[in-house]
Amino acid sequence: MNQVVPRSTRVEPLPPLSPPSLEPAKVSAFAVLGLSAPLLKAVASEGYETPTPVQQRCIPHVLEGRDVLGCAQTGTGKTAAFVLPILQRLAAQPKNGRIRALVLAPTRELAAQISERTWAYGKNLGLTNTVIYGGVGQRGQEEALHRKPDILIATPGRLLDLMEQGYVKLDAVEIFVLDEADRMLDMGFIHDVRRIVREVPVKRQTLFFSATMPPAIAELSSRILINPVRIEVVPQATTAEKIEQTVHHVAKRDKRALLEHVLRAEGVHRALVFTRTKHGANKLVEQLDRANIRAAAIHGNKSQGARERALDGFKNGDIPVLIATDIAARGIDVDGITHVVNYDLPEVPEQYVHRIGRTARAGAGGRAIAFCDEEERGLLSDIERVIRQRIPLAERVALPQGVAQEVQRPRPPMPERRPEQRSSSPERGRGSPIGQGPSNVPSVNSASTDARPPRARRRRYRGGSRPTGT
């Protein structure tokens, strides 16, 4: 299954592009990167004044035709970092009625978001794009493909389906983008990705983005990139600096009351709350509704229409609280999220970084609040090792029903990670001296006992049926 053909030939750069013809006084910080006038106009109308670091470092190389290996979190402006120069390169040559750029994304939300951004950035260039993803009928997508888009943005499963049915041909692709490659791996799409790569011409430009670089992703990147420029805008798995993080140690049964308290606090304007399960997300919406807090849930069991309505309401401010599971949250691109609440801690510590990256986007500040119950202390330790910092304890909260949040004693310094410890270890949170509760985290008060099975029985998603997006 691993036979992605290693690429042995160098991509020949497209012809050099003429510099934007703007008067010096009007040259924006984007123009310095070599972007053309129509794109400068588009970014100006988006209100962007300064390129973000990933844009500064990526755009000139993509314009030159280089392959790029980008280690960048979501929220860093990476979509524009690849879409803007791709548009410029495609616009430099006549349309040929073929798909000339392919962008693969792990979820339908992210794919839709990239498509929307591509329309916005490319509106002055006359280039077209089509987005295809699963979970909706394919008829509209067939028709859109019939209109011969220049750029195709797709999730892997639906793309393969349509390729197999003969609706998509990738043999004219000049630029191939793999976005959020680590998510592709987590969601079990890596074999689909390999199959798609085999259908794309060997002679191409490839842009590869991933927030983290686990070994399987590093291996894939080395097979499909040629002499790439490496761009790392945030060191691997470090947390966005502008996010103020805190953790509440709280009994599981008090989490809901604490959430209400947190959401009612001053300054909470738009909050994204993460639960582990779809059922948990639905339940929370009902409970918040009873407390007169308007919320909506977004997860893989919701229809595309319901997800879009929830997202629209969240974007336009009608719904101030969005409850999401991890997979559904990929690709949510909403500005102005003031708070991210980890109602349940993620099973995979790297996921914490993705979650909190939803706030503090593009340079704004934001707050991330984690709830950690007695069973989640091993997970908290894992997260703190990944982000290489202790998450400060939140101030104690007296909950309305008189149940005080459990005692928060200061914790000892963070222990070193043991080399053999893996985040997916079945013993995590129970057996490891680091993950164990009593030695390095506050003790649980008697009110907090809970008879749930150990966390080790819960599984990390590793493929199988496609949860979303394909």
Residues that bind ligand AMP (CB under 6 A): 48, 50-52, 55, 74-80, 333, 335, 361-362
How near is the Cβ of 52 to ligand AMP at its closest, in Å? 5
- CB closer to ligand AMP out of 85 and 378: 85
Cα distances from 340 to residues 78, 280, 328, 396, in angstroms, run 21, 17, 15, 19
Q: At closest approach, how far in Å is the CB of 439 from ligand AMP?
A: 39
Q: In which region does residue 463 sit, left (phi positive, over 0), alpha (psi from -120 to 50) or beta (all else)?
A: left
In this complex, which beta carbon is closest to ligand AMP, that of residue 75 or of residue 469?
75
76 vs 107, beta carbon nearer ligand AMP: 76
Q: How far apart are CA 156 and CA 134, in angstroms?
A: 9
User: Which is closer to ligand AMP, CB of 78 or CB of 299?
Assistant: 78
Comparing CA positions, the residue from 126, 205, 200 lying closest to residue 159 is: 200
Six-digit token string for 28: 């924006």
Q: What is the nearest approach in angstroms of ligand AMP to the Cβ of residue 330?
A: 11
**What is the side-by-side order of every strand in the sheet holding 175-178?**
129-132, 151-154, 101-104, 175-178, 205-210, 68-71, 229-232
Q: In whole angstroms, give the CA distance from residue 368 to residue 243.
A: 7
Q: How far is the CB of 220 from ligand AMP (least distance, A)?
A: 21
| For ligand AMP, the closer CB: 79 or 381 | 79
Q: What is the CA radius of gyration of the chain?
A: 23
To ligand AMP, the closest distance from the beta carbon of 360 in angstroms equals: 10
CB of 175 to ligand AMP, least distance (A): 17
Report the residue number, 29 or 397, with the smaller CB distance to ligand AMP.
29
Shortest reach from residue 45's CB to ligand AMP, in Å:
12
CB 122 within 8 A of CB 102: no
**The residue to which tokens 């030159």 are assigned:** 64
Question: How far is residue 183's CA from residue 177's CA, in Å, rounded to a whole number?
Answer: 14
Burial 367-397 (b: 16+ CB within 10 A, else e): bbbbbbbbbbbbbbbbbbbbbeebbebbeeb
Q: Which is nearer to ligand AMP, 37 or 414 (CB)?
A: 37
Q: What are phi and psi of 93, to 5 degrees?
A: -125, 155
Whether 247 contacts 372, CB under 8 Å: yes
Tell me how far, at minimum, the Cβ of 315 lies from ligand AMP, in Å: 11
Shortest distance, position 76 Cβ to ligand AMP, whole Å = 5
Nearer to ligand AMP, 53 or 415 (CB): 53
User: Could you tell me the smallest distance in angstroms from the CB atom of residue 216 to ligand AMP?
Assistant: 23
Of 88 and 405, which has the nearer Cβ to ligand AMP?
A: 88
